[in-house]
Amino acid sequence: MKPRGRKLKAIPPVYRINKRNQIIDLGVYRANISVDSEVDEVDLRAYIKTEPSLKIEFEFDTQISWSSLFEVFNRKKTIAVTIPDTKIDSPMILVGMQPGLGGTRVKLIPARQSVEVGSLGRAIKIRFHLVNFSDFMSKDAVKINTKGGGFARREAIILEHNGYEVVIIETPDTRQTMESLKQLGGRAITHTGSIRKLNDSLLTPTETIELLFILSQFLSFAIGSWTSPILPVGYDASRVRVWESWGLRKINSWKRHQSWLDDHHAEVLTSIFKGFAGLWNDATWSETLKASVYWYVFSNMRVANVDGSIILAQAALERIAWVYLTEHVRTYSKTKAKKLSAAQKVTEVLNDCKIPVSLPGNYTRLAAYAAAFACADGPQTIASIRNNLVHPVNKAKGSGVIMDGVYHEALSLYMWYIELVLLNLMGFSGSYSNRITANMVGQVEKVPWASLGP
């Protein structure tokens, strides 16, 4: 375990998921409810449902007339919710109403899942919860003192960006939680984390919100599926809660997907995050990085099945190649780049990054396809497969090999190319999990450009 300049401590979760009903209880708040001229003060219960999808819901009993509520339900009237010191920047959708002794039981959902309580500008530190992240191990693990004079190992990652420090650490329940996810699926808080400025000054709200978003995209890129920090809670210098956000981002039900991150070497995230954040803030790469991560994750998860994912992956790889050639290294003007085929552009980028363009020897189905369609290398082969999906003019020529699992090998090669080009752009020269050859956790190798040398 790597020694640190300051001693890390466990980060207890502020919120927990109730295993019985899969709900995160956010508390009960005194709120004003209004429909036209009818106003009522209620005890509003806020909670997050984690299944079948993440969703903020409000529930309360009210004396507002049934007829007015029915008009709200039919979208003919609107209902307003006001909670002191809380920003609800969204119209409300009434999804349920039930008569009862205490009035009408109402259930609302904010149309935009974004609610903020308090003031982030008063906070010097944030604690957050990470859902469905990897069961990682790291050289940056820390020793946590336990009751009775013992200690325990806690896996941790430490990231830095723009004067901020981010710590992600497992909880005492992480191992048990991961086993439950692997068996039952769903969503669970697997890790907790913190954000602070390195000089321990007040957090800058815009920078902190942006950092939380960058983290969600970076960690999703790392594990190849959607994950995100949720329920960040801000504390002032006296450790008083002064802010929290109930905003939700896309987090899929648990399923482990292959990616470049090896679970036993998560310490590489520290150096890669610096490169990722650098591209994120680079005028040339910012929008392309965001789009590429979006397409990469959806393709890697095969949301559009394997054939649709190939089309998304081609869009990501071709956009990266275009920006690389015309704006990054400026090998081609945009006019000349338009004359290159998609495969030619990708080959240029791969060669420049010292990434092999030959077909992997163990991808026999791709080799059969390449022979049938006279494709010289990897970029030509996968581009041909994508073209035959979208423009099936030559499909009959090689229909036998197309239907025999070639799509799966093609998508895997697409993912490998996207991963490696992005890691190269992020300045990474360490070890990663090669999806082409790795068959077990812990099996890593140097990235190709580091293996080949200058």
Stretch 84-112: mean pLDDT = 93
Task: Note the pLDDT tens digit of each residue in 187-231.
Answer: 999 999 999 999 999 999 999 999 999 999 999 999 999 999 999
Rounded (5°) CA angle 441-298-191:
50
Looking at the DSSP bridge assignments, the partners of residue 322 are none
State residue 238 phi and psi, 5-degree precision: -95, 10
Residue 338 has pLDDT above 90, yes or no: yes
Residue 272 has pLDDT above 50, yes or no: yes
Share of the chain above pLDDT 90, in %: 82
Stretch 26-48: mean pLDDT = 96
Q: What is the pTM of this model?
A: 0.93
State residue 241 phi and psi, 5-degree precision: -65, 125
pLDDT at residue 371, rounded to an integer: 93
pLDDT at residue 145, rounded to an integer: 75
Task: Note the pLDDT tens digit of each residue in 227-271.
Answer: 999 999 999 999 999 999 998 888 988 988 999 999 999 999 999
Average per-residue pLDDT for the chain: 92
The helix (run of H) or strand (run of E) holding residue 229 is strand 228-235
Q: Is 95 helix (H, G, I), strand (E, B) or coil?
A: strand
Q: Report the amino acid identity of residue 303.
A: V
pLDDT at residue 391, rounded to an integer: 78
pLDDT at residue 9, rounded to an integer: 80
Question: Which residue, 21, 35, 111, is CA-closest to 66?
Answer: 35
Q: Please tell me which residue, 101 or 410, carries the higher pLDDT value.
A: 410
Structure confidence at residue 5 as a pLDDT band (50, 70, 90): very low
Q: What percentage of the chain's residues is helix, strand, coil (to nearest 5)?
A: 40, 25, 35
pLDDT at residue 20, rounded to an integer: 84
Stretch 7-24: mean pLDDT = 88
Tell me the C-alpha distance between 266 and 314, whole Å.
28
Tell me the C-alpha distance between 313 and 300, whole Å.
9
Share of the chain above pLDDT 70, in %: 95
pLDDT at residue 288, rounded to an integer: 97
How is residue 403 written in tokens?
């239907």
The helix (run of H) or strand (run of E) holding residue 318 is helix 305-323
Q: Report the amino acid identity of residue 345.
A: K
Tell me the C-alpha distance between 247 and 339, whole Å.
45
Task: Note the pLDDT tens digit of each residue in 296-332.
Answer: 999 999 998 999 999 999 999 999 999 999 999 999 9
pLDDT at residue 102, rounded to an integer: 81
Task: Note the pLDDT tens digit of each residue in 370-402.
Answer: 999 999 999 999 999 999 888 776 554 545 556
How far is CA 317 from each of CA 198, 257, 273, 276, 282, rounded to the nearest angstrom?
A: 36, 19, 21, 17, 19
Task: Note the pLDDT tens digit of each residue in 106-144.
Answer: 999 999 888 999 999 999 999 999 999 999 998 888 887
Per-domain residue ranges of the chain = 17-113, 117-268, 282-452
pLDDT at residue 234, rounded to an integer: 98
Q: List the strands of the sheet with 189-197, edge to edge.
A: 86-88, 115-118, 241-245, 228-235, 125-131, 189-197, 164-170, 156-161
Residue 4 has pLDDT above 60, yes or no: no
Stretch 177-188: mean pLDDT = 92
Tell me the C-alpha distance between 141 and 393, whole Å.
55
Q: What is the DSSP string of 384-395?
A: HHHHHHHS-TTG
**Torsion from C-alpha of 422, 423, 427, 433, nearest 10 degrees:** -170
Rounded (5°) CA angle 207-163-165:
90
Q: Is 41 helix (H, G, I), strand (E, B) or coil?
A: strand
Tell me the C-alpha distance between 426 and 353, whole Å.
12
Structure confidence at residue 174 as a pLDDT band (50, 70, 90): very high
Q: Evaluate the omega torsion of the peptide bond into residue 3 and state whether it is cis, within 30 degrees of 0.
A: no
